[in-house]
Amino acid sequence: MALKAGIVGLPNVGKSTLFNAVSNSAKAQASNYRFCTIEPNTGLVNVPDARLDKLASLVNPERVVPTQIEIVDIAGLVRGASKGEGLGNKFLANIREVDAIIQVIRCFEDDNILREEGAINPVGDKEIIETELQLKDLESVDKKLQRTEKLAKTDTKAKAELDVLLKCKAHLEQGKNIVTLGLSKEEKVAIADLFLLTDKPVLYVANVDEASMHTGNKYSAALIEAVKNEGNEVIVMTNAVEAQIAEFEDADDKAMFMEEYKMTEPALDRLIHSTYKLLNLSTYFTAGVQEVRAWTIHKGWKAPQAASVIHTDFEKGFIKAEVIGYNDFITLGSEAACREQGKLRIEGKEYVVNDGDVMHFRFNV
């Protein structure tokens, strides 16, 4: 599944530093000037999952394969981006291609790091980005409105689309994001071709200084207060420290470094898990002597859809799924023991896969 989360924010807030910390397969240049990032950097990120490690310890496979999500580091946005300022048009086009937004907000003071918007103001920074995205969406909606209004006079389907577009226009003009409009599945079809920027789920990263990494500060507190009614999560972290942790290859060295900062786990792990949740994703496992592997699916997918992420033939020729609950597998210690104890179930096409299921698929092509 090629699901992407895009890291966005104003220039010099720590986007590329975060990308470097989180990405397993690519490194972005992080420098103290505008538009250090021009072309988006893309990297695959392993999703930490203790369940995968526990399964592997029982099965002892030849290899262990975690599931991954794709993270994109996008050029810094500036005021006026919706009108083409800075790298505006390119920036906004890159955001259209992601499924969720990780918005990095500067919550630290440092005279050595450039800032064009005056005093540190995390709420103001958030509003600048939202306003630019809303203005661009309004432009997209207006263009489609012009085309749809003519068709709606004689076309029932176009009339229904017109009603949705007018609803979106009014919402955007009030300074609100489309994701908060509560459109039905049918209504969303009317705007699906627009790939609206404010119709994407958002996760905020409050990038604080080292002294505030455990407690936060007045800036991160202001951001948390500002978004409390949105239902969006704010993760407080120090991007520069996280980038240093990610550089360690030796587990003992990493543990020692984290101990110095009184950290039990990298904040990155929380960020990755939250991004996974933001994308409405779930995990199932396959477990055999050759490999123990985690697979990404959307929550609510049925067994044939889940099988398709292994290979499309698995969905086409789906017969049955052999399913063991994760807790049963761990408690009994093996697939064989689960069979003996009647904990292995045979499920059909209508089975909705649970997060953590250990599965094998029967298929015929």
pLDDT tens readout for residues 258-278:
999 999 989 989 999 999 999
Q: What is the pLDDT of residue 230?
A: 85
- Spell out the residues 6+ positions from residue 228 whose beta carbon is closer than 8 angstroms to its own: none
| pLDDT value of position 289 | 95
Contacts of 336 (CB under 8 A, 6+ apart): none
Strand order of the β-sheet with 63-65 is 63-65, 291-298, 281-287, 358-363, 318-324, 344-347
Q: What is the CATH number of the domain that holds 270?
A: 3.40.50.300
In sequence order, what are the beta bridge partners of 317?
none
Q: What digits encode the pLDDT tens for the residues 278-318?
A: 999 999 999 999 999 999 999 999 999 999 999 999 999 99
Q: Given this model, what pLDDT does residue 122 score?
A: 95
pLDDT at 351 over 80: yes
- In the annotated binding site, the residues are 12-17
For residues 237 and 206, what is the distance between their CA atoms, to the nearest angstrom? 6
**How many domains does the structure of the chain reveal?**
3
pLDDT confidence of residue 110: 87
Domain limits at 179? Answer: 130-198
Contacts of 40 (CB under 8 A, 6+ apart): 6, 72, 73, 74, 75, 94
Band the pLDDT of 80: cuts 50, 70, 90: low
Q: What is the pTM of this model?
A: 0.84
Query: What separation in angstroms does the CA of 345 have from each of 37, 139, 283, 357?
Result: 50, 52, 18, 11
- What would the mean pLDDT of 20-45 be, rounded to a whole number? 57
Quick one: what percent of the chain has pLDDT higher than 90?
62
Domain stop point among 141, 171, 198? 198
Residues 41 and 56 in one domain: yes
Residue 30 and residue 108 in one domain = yes
Binding residues for ATP: 12-17
DSSP 3-state of 359:
strand
Question: What pLDDT was estimated at residue 42?
Answer: 83
Confidence check: pLDDT of 7 > 50: yes
CA torsion sign, 347 to 352 to 353 to 355?
negative
Q: How many CB atoms lie within 10 A of CB 289?
A: 9
- How far is the C-alpha of 212 from the C-alpha of 237, rounded, in Å? 8
Residue 123 within a domain = no
- Are 110 and 210 members of one domain? yes
Instruction: For residues 170 and 62, state if they share a domain.
Output: no
Quick one: average pLDDT of 161-167? 95
Mean pLDDT lowest for which of 3-7, 106-110, 200-204, 297-301?
3-7
**pLDDT reading at 52 higher than 80:** yes
